[in-house]
């Protein structure tokens, strides 16, 4: 972050850790281990930026988003929103500040209360910011929000089960926007939707962040989706960030071997080109976060691994300007980039 | 300048008029629609309503009192004066059945209400807090489950003497255990749902989350179970009365009447037949209604 000294980032994560204790026994529990779902993540998001976070399932993406949301409390590190460390704030105080950061969930069939109309759902969320709005002013606000997310306001008296998946996700987006948040965490917001609907929701999210100047952390396991909406992409593997770069840089010149594998997994839309695509197939499954491999967490599956990789965890290092990556082998894999110290 | 607020300026948007809004159909409305298609459940509902009305209003319309003895008219079969006959003491059987119905039904509903209040609060609290508290609270339920019910009630009557309220409390105190388990299970499932997480991330208070988001979503199973609890409770009351621990003469519940009727079964069969008829019709209708409600409120669990 070359200008990091000039303006402090909007959201800054510093060595964030979220560990879940593994316990045994009934009344007298013993701690027998820990799942290190998020293990030392440092990230900075600028105001108005959309940061994409990709990684395979189980790598800790959702845990990280819930930790930022303070639905889970971090076991270590700091999460600064506009300079204020949320991890140091009491839960009581967090509740009052929640309106500043909102979340869009993966499953629009589970994220809406089935007993509440669209109007009630959005109204309740608007009330968190404007407790005294009511009557026609409230109807106007709800209409306006529905209009903004592409839903006909005349449907506001309907219930979630009367809508399609895409429409439900629009309702969920309207609810997330209702408290007028500054930060949106979108946790796989399109993964549960049909491909044809995915692009509509992506376009909507892109439009809204642009128009409202929102900052967004966009989480997905699908690099093809993330590259479309993000200004920058962070790649996560087993609780750690392994590479950060612009979508173009990540797609055209992935530095980390894991990113290379991810990029090579995206199919080309053209069947003739698709036949020439060279895939880098990773062997084996991601290791258990309960028992991560020593050294670089990726080394057991990495085609470039050498003995040194098993010894220590590689730190994120800027091999190119604004292109941090966590791999000691990058100078060898990419001749001419960086130097090994 | 980036616009960070979503508040629209007051006049730039048309406000939809109420009559333009398309009315949604809530899950309750859907359930009612499904219930109306279930003929058996509707008949059960109608039958139960008729029995309830007869029991509540009937005693005002008969010329006889339930404790009014006319020994000269003792133990008659059904006649135009006494539609369901009289017992050995010359009391009008229909009047006694209607009075007994009041007691049986009120025991059924009051004890169910007691079990509902305790069970819902206990189960929801246990599940919402979770962890060790949950484990301890549910083990306590297990222990109570293991207690023999009759001994428990005999103990209560010994300590507090006999009264109708005691029966409410005694039966309610036993029936809430199952209710607590059901509610706990439901709340545990709901707690994992994303809309509860969404409510938490909107900063709603715990009370609001429980009242607006959790309870409306567990009401369905609770209603079903409560409907099925009422007949179970009425049976329990009959058992207690049978053992002489229930309602005391000259008051009567259906259980008492059936008990008396069975003693005279061979000589005065109508004394057993009519209360048993009312009792079983009520039990049948409540059970069918409960089944119908379950199918209506949770269409996934029904077979067809």
pLDDT 10s digits, A272-292: 878 877 777 777 777 777 777
Nearest-by-Cβ selection for A179 from B16, B195, B202? B202
Is B6 touching A (CB cutoff 8 A)?
yes
Cβ neighbour number for residue B272 with a 10 Å cutoff:
19
Chain B contacts of A156, Cβ < 8 Å?
Answer: 16, 21
Q: What is the pLDDT of residues A255-269, one digit of tens each?
A: 999 998 888 888 877
Q: Does B211 touch chain A (CB under 8 A)?
A: no
Model-wide pTM > 0.95: no
- Tell me the pLDDT tens digit for each residue of A172-225: 999 999 999 999 999 999 988 888 899 999 999 999 999 998 999 999 988 888
Q: Is B9 on the interface with A (CB under 8 A)?
A: no
**B78 found inside a domain:** no
* Cis peptide leading into residue B250 (ω within 30°): yes
Q: Which CATH number does the domain housing residue B163 bear?
A: 1.10.3720.10
Tell me whether residues A103 and B198 touch, CB distance under 8 A: yes
Please give the order of strands across the beta sheet that includes A240-245: A101-104, A183-187, A215-220, A50-54, A232-237, A240-245, A323-325, A317-320
pLDDT beyond 50 at B193? yes
Kindly state whether residue B19 falls inside one of the protein's structural domains.
Answer: no
For A120-134, give the DSSP string: HHHHHHHHTT-TT--
Across the range B256-277, mean pLDDT stands at: 83
In a domain, residue B87? The reply is no
How many C-beta neighbours within 10 Å does residue B72 have? 6
What is the span of the domain harbouring residue B256? 30-56+93-303
CA A69, CA A187: separation in Å to the nearest integer? Answer: 11
Secondary element (H or E) of residue B254:
helix B254-263
If you search the block for the tokens 């000294």, which residue do you land on? A5
Overall average pLDDT of the B19-47 stretch:
82
Count CB-CB contacts under 10 A for residue A181: 26
Query: Can you say how many angstroms the Cα of residue A256 is from the centroid of all Cα atoms in its chain?
Result: 19
Is B25 contained in some domain? no
Q: How many CB atoms lie within 10 A of CB B68?
A: 15
pLDDT of residue A59: 86
**What is the average pLDDT score of chain B?**
81
Question: Which residues in chain B are closer than 8 Å to A49, comparing Cβ atoms?
Answer: none
With 70 as the cut, is the pLDDT of residue A2 above it? no
Residues of chain A found within 8 Å of residue B7, distances taken between Cβ atoms: 130, 141, 180
| Residues 156 through 175 of chain B touching chain A, CB cutoff 8 Å | none
* Position B105 in a domain: yes
Count of domains for chain B: 1
Residue B242 falls inside a structural domain: yes
Q: Which residues of A touch B215 (CB under 8 A)?
A: none
Sheet holding A76-81, edge to edge: A30-45, A11-24, A76-81, A84-85
Q: Would residue B44 count as lying in a domain?
A: yes
Q: Does B199 touch chain A (CB under 8 A)?
A: yes
Label the pairing between strands A232-237 and A84-85: unpaired
pLDDT band at A26 (very low <50, low <70, confident <90, very high): low
Collect all residues of chain B within an 8 Å Cβ-Cβ radius of residue A154: 16, 20-22
User: Residue A198: its pLDDT value, please?
Assistant: 92
Q: How many residues in total does chain A contain?
A: 341
Interface A-B, measured as beta-carbon pairs within 8 A, has a size of 133
**How close A107 comes to chain B (CA, Å)?**
8
CA neighbor of A181 nearest in space, from A122, A232, A126: A126
Interface touch B2/A178, C-beta < 8 Å: no
In a domain, residue B209? The reply is yes
């Amino acid at each position: 972050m070359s200008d990091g000294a000039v303006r402090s980032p909007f959201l800054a994560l510093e060595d964030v850790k979220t560990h879940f204790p593994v316990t045994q026994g009934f009344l007298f529990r013993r701690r027998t281990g820990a799942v290190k779902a998020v293990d030392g993540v440092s990230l900075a998001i600028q105001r108005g930026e959309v940061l994409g976070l990709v990684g395979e399932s189980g790598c800790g993406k959702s845990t990280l988003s819930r930790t930022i949301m303070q639905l889970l409390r971090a076991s270590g590190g700091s999460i600064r929103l506009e300079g204020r460390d949320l991890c140091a704030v009491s839960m009581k105080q967090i509740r009052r500040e929640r309106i500043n950061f909102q979340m869009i969930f993966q499953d629009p069939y589970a994220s809406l209360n089935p007993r509440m109309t669209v109007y009630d759902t959005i109204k309740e969320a608007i009330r968190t910011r404007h407790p005294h709005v009511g009557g026609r002013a409230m109807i106007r606000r709800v209409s306006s929000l529905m209009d903004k997310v592409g839903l006909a306001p005349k449907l506001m008296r309907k219930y979630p089960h009367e809508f399609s998946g895409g429409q439900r996700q629009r309702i969920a987006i309207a609810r997330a926007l209702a408290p007028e948040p500054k930060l949106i965490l979108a946790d796989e917001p399109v993964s549960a939707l049909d491909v044809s609907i995915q692009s509509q929701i992506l376009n909507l999210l892109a439009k809204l962040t642009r128009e409202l100047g929102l900052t967004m952390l966009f989480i997905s396991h699908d690099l093809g989706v993330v590259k479309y909406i993000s200004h920058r992409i962070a790649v996560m593997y087993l609780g750690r960030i392994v590479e950060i770069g612009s979508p173009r840089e990540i797609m055209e010149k992935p530095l980390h071997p894991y990113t290379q594998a991810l990029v090579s997994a995206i199919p080309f839309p053209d069947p003739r080109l698709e036949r020439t695509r060279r895939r880098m197939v990773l062997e084996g499954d991601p290791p258990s976060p309960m028992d991560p491999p020593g050294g670089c967490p990726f080394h057991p599956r990495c085609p470039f691994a050498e003995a040194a990789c098993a010894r220590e965890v590689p730190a994120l290092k800027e091999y190119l300007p604004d292109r941090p990556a966590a791999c000691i082998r990058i100078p060898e894999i990419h001749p001419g980039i960086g130097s090994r110290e | 300048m980036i616009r960070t607020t979503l508040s629209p300026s007051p006049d730039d948007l048309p406000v939809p008029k109420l009559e333009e809004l398309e009315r949604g159909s809530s899950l309750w409305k859907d359930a009612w629609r499904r219930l109306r298609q279930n003929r058996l459940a509707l008949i059960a509902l109608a039958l139960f309503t008729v029995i309830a009305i007869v029991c509540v209003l009937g005693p005002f319309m008969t010329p006889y009192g339930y404790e009014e003895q006319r020994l000269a008219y003792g133990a008659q079969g059904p006649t135009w004066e006494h539609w369901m006959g009289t017992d050995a003491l010359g009391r009008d059987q229909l009047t006694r059945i209607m009075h007994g119905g009041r007691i049986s039904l009120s025991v059924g509903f009051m004890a169910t209400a007691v079990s509902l209040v305790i069970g819902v609060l206990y189960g929801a609290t246990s599940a919402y807090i979770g962890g060790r508290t949950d484990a301890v609270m549910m083990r306590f339920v297990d222990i109570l489950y293991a207690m023999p019910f009759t001994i428990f009630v005999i103990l209560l009557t010994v300590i507090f003497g006999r009264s109708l309220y005691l029966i409410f409390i005694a039966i309610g105190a036993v029936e809430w255990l199952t209710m607590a388990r059901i509610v706990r299970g439901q709340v545990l499932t709901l707690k994992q749902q994303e809309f509860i997480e969404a409510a938490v991330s909107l900063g709603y208070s715990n009370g609001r989350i429980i009242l607006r988001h959790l309870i409306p979503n567990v009401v369905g199973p609770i209603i079903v179970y409560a409907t099925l609890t009422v007949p179970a409770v009425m049976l329990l009351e009959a058992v207690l009365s049978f053992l002489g621990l229930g309602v005391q003469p000259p008051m009567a519940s259906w259980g008492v009447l059936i008990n008396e009727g069975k003693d005279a079964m061979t000589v005065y069969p109508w004394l057993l037949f009519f209360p048993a008829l009312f009792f079983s019709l009520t039990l049948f209708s409540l059970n069918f209604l409960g089944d119908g409600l379950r199918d209506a409120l949770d269409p996934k669990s029904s077979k067809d």
